[in-house]
A and B are shown apart, each in its own frame.
Chain A
Amino acid sequence: MRFVDEYRDPAAARRAVEEIGIVSGGEHRKFMEVCGGHTHTIYKHGIENVLPENVELVHGPGCPVCVIPMGRVDDAINLAEQPGVIFTSFGDMMRVPGSTSNLLEAKARGADVRMVYSPLDALRIAQANPDRQVVFFAIGFETTAPSTAITLLKAKEAGVTNFSVFCNHVTIVPPIKAILESPDLRLDGFIGPGHVSTVIGNRPYRFLPAQYGKPLVTAGFEPLDILQAILMLVRQLRDGRCEVENQYTRAVRDEGNVRALQILGQVFELRPHFEWRGLGFISHSGLKLSEAFADWDAELRFQVPGVRVADPKACQCGEVLKGVIKPWECKVFGTACTPETPIGTCMVSSEGACAAYYNYGRFTREAAASARIPVRSA
């Protein structure tokens, strides 16, 4: 496939891995990939097992599904079960556990829950069902927020009044700061979330080298993108540099997408604080609809319980999201908590560190190496 295969070329990968080994000089380096999309790529292509052993990847908080706290899922289920409501959601959220059930179970109980690929689909459902209330479950970082914003602009323009948004959009910089303030983690640098940067650019990360002395390289989502970003990080460390660099030049401009940022400013405003799964309340980390779009805000249109539900005791999603522990170090990983019966959010989305490790990485370096003996064709 053009524009994909080039970034999965095994010969180029071998050269990159070799160079990472040489440049890092055997020194132990620990990098966090902030974005769940990167976590997914790393496990799906088996990147961890081909990296030199001294380079360690730690999985970060950038999985939109993983950071939604239980109370918000309960609110979503409550909305879905209100009479006359069609509740629309991305597929990933359907199996995320609330305190007693999930959206898939609510659907089986009779709620009209529909999976959509885009908020525009939800708006179309609203236009086709003028006698019903259609609510869209908006989640995600700055990557998905612009599409929600555009949808709201269109809803306003077309005067669609039976549509509303249950907004759970969050921003990427506050949790990165929260992680850096966490005393139990030592990191040498960050692999920056490329898709978020297509919107916000690279400038918002400048505080990392300036205030915390950590380099960041914004990276694309193919395996070679990630290897190149790691190489750029170990080069910075070798050369004693500490900068924000851009590996994903084919998609990311330093200033980001100015038009998208404008629309975000028009439609959303920062909440004073927002609760994150496992990380607790983080100030100025969540978005809500601005005054001008208050008529489309599901939290204002409907009564929702809005109750804070504590994370299950057994679940260590918070430590996993902060990269303090590896998925397999969680006490319930793989036994009580599996992709079929997830306790924590990290086990639900394919971008969650636990689900990615469970589904793709559940074997040792040695087993991986022995499996790599080529398959004989005949």
Chain B
Amino acid sequence: MSEAAPEPEEPEGELPKSQEEVVLERIERFRRNRPRLRDDFINSAHGAGGKASAALIDAVFVKAFANEALAPLTDGAVLTLPSGERLAFSTDSSVVNPIRFPGGSIGHLAVHGTVNDVAMMGAVPAWVSAAFVLEDGFPVAELRGIVADMKEAAANAGVQVVTGDTKVVNKGSADGLYICTAGVGLIPADVHLDARSVRPGDRVLVSGTIGDHGVAVMLARGELGIEADIQSDTAPLGGLVAALLAAAPGTRWLRDPTRGGVATVCNELARDADLAIILDEVSLPVRPAVNGACEILGIDPLYVANEGKLVAVVPPEQAEAAVVALRGHPLGGDAAVIGEVRDDPPGMVVINTTFGGNRVVDMLAGDPLPRIC
């Protein structure tokens, strides 16, 4: 190390910054700008939940619809009624291929996706709408089966499907069927979830094994020639949220790590709270079969979609109670503390690897693509 005196403009007591540090700071400033939409045509990355999705949402949707309820860009909008009661309102489209996969179907997803988004706002989901886009020639028997799955999912979630719509498009204009749902629920008066309430020292929890849904669907497509007994985790999370909030009333923030996985929601939290999230790879609950499939495909389970898991931030003194409560629920058996909120480096997610090193965990860029060798 050089003994040279600090540059005159450096504040006293601080070492001059290395060239690498200067570059890193410049990148960090640049990275904090919301991603800009540069594409002239939609491509699959715009739907992957990463940076390209964020750019599209900013440049097209937020620009056109800008309003106070939309602004936080969370899983759902929080609307205050004249009575003072707060309503959570969310919508979702299901376009999964194949429409049936181990552990569920597009019908389950359509209901769970929406009720979970409502539940993540701290609300108790109550009513759901369902709009169907059907391809000419789709078998009615199959539609009945999918609707039966929706009925079952709604019953498990404690919600009613109260309105709907049906459209049929020409053969080739849709892939079987698409389902769009919306849901509403009331937020209990004592529940206030907000990324800005997150503090350094808070713990980050996940309610169970990660990556199950995404890997189950990828393998169910049958294109990869990998066979493994992996089931989607699709499930309604309202009950789990209730158990968590009862045991850890100080819970600061909740998200369901669907598209883009745990890595993406942690990055959104780090950005919104302007704090660092330090994850611990050893503590991440991942099924061996999921881990194995991810290793083979060259993808990281942190970025793989879940449909029945939540990520929660709780104050340190309530972390243990929160884990116990989650584990006591049928959907939370593998719940674990996976990380901690810290001051530094702000806006970033870092993971300490099993091996003893660490790396940055960034937002997903592009569609998750497998490595080739």
Contacts and interface: CB of A to CB of B under 8 A. Distances in A.
A341 B52 CA distance: 10
A334 B365 contact: no
Given A1-B292, A117-B224, A340-B35, A144 B372 contact: yes
Contacts of A5: 354
A363 B344 CA distance: 11
Chain A interface residue number, banded: 35 or more
Given A328-B23, A333-B23, A362-B24, A45 B369 contact: no
Interface residues of B, number: 65
Contacts of B203: 376-378
B135 interface: no
B30 A334 contact: yes
Contacts of B28: 362
A94 B369 contact: yes
A364 B292 contact: no
A84 to B, nearest CB: 18
Contacts of A351: 371, 373
Contacts of A107: 43
A144 B203 CA distance: 44
B193 to A, nearest CB: 21
A97 to B, nearest CB: 12
A362 B31 CA distance: 11
A10 B353 CA distance: 9
B234 to A, nearest CB: 25
A108 interface: yes
Given A364-B20, A371-B352, A92 B357 contact: no
Contacts, number: 182
Contacts of B43: 104-105, 107-108
A140 B356 contact: no
Interface in A99-149: 104-105, 107-109, 115, 117, 121, 139-141, 143-144
B365 A339 contact: yes
- Looking at A8, A362, A364, the one whose CB has the most chain B CB atoms below 10 A away is A362
B42 interface: yes
B362 A359 contact: yes
A103 B339 CA distance: 38
Interface stretch (B63-71, B90-98, B277-285): B277-285
- Looking at B38, B338, B358, the one whose CB has the most chain A CB atoms below 10 A away is B358
- Looking at B18, B224, B365, B372, the one whose CB has the most chain A CB atoms below 10 A away is B372
Interface string A42-63: 0111111110000000000000
B117 interface: no
A4 B373 contact: no
A96 to B, nearest CB: 11
A307 interface: no
A121 B366 CA distance: 23
Contact of A372 (B224, B319, B352): B352
B310 interface: no
Contact of A360 (B24, B224, B316, B359): B359
A49 B357 contact: yes
A50 B366 CA distance: 30
A143 B373 CA distance: 7
B140 interface: no
B348 A350 contact: no
A193 B51 CA distance: 33
Contact of B27 (A10, A47, A334, A368): A334
B52 A340 contact: yes
A161 B5 CA distance: 72
A92 B371 contact: yes
A364 B295 CA distance: 27
B129 interface: no
Contact of B357 (A47, A143, A334, A349): A47
Interface string A1-37: 1001100111001100000000000000000000001
B316 A104 contact: no
Interface in B4-20: 18-20
B45 interface: yes
A195 interface: yes
A204 interface: no
Nearest to B322: A378
Given A364-B20, A378-B337, A92 B344 contact: no
Contact of A45 (B280, B357, B371): B357
Given A359-B362, A375-B278, A377-B337, A364 B352 contact: no
Contacts of A121: 223
A140 B372 CA distance: 9
A90 interface: yes
Given A362-B24, A375-B340, A46 B353 contact: yes
B348 to A, nearest CB: 7
Contact of A377 (B23, B276, B283, B350): B283
A367 B337 contact: no
Interface string A321-361: 00000101100011100111100000001110000001111
Contact of B21 (A14, A115, A340, A364): A364
Contacts of B55: 340
Given A46-B359, A140-B373, A360-B360, A328 B42 contact: no
Contacts of A105: 39, 41, 43
A270 to B, nearest CB: 21
Contacts of A104: 43-45
A236 B38 CA distance: 51
B160 interface: no
Contact of B283 (A329, A333, A375): A375
B355 A4 contact: no
A83 interface: no
A174 interface: no
Contact of B360 (A139, A143, A223, A359): A359
Nearest to A42: B357
Contacts of B24: 328, 362-364
Given A64-B373, A117-B370, A358-B362, 7 more contacts: A46-B356, A90-B370, A104-B45, A121-B223, A328-B20, A362-B360, A368-B357
Across chains A and B, which 5 residue pairs bring their CB atoms closest together, nearest first?
A: A46-B357, A91-B369, A334-B27, A339-B365, A360-B359
23 contacts: A10-B355, A14-B356, A45-B353, A46-B357, A46-B358, A90-B370, A90-B372, A91-B372, A92-B370, A92-B371, A109-B41, A141-B373, A144-B372, A223-B353, A224-B355, A326-B20, A340-B366, A359-B365, A361-B359, A362-B27, A363-B360, A364-B24, A376-B203
Interface of A: 1, 4-5, 8-10, 13-14, 37, 40, 43-50, 64-65, 90-92, 94-95, 104-105, 107-109, 115, 117, 121, 139-141, 143-144, 195, 223-224, 326, 328-329, 333-335, 338-341, 349-351, 358-364, 367-368, 370-372, 374-378
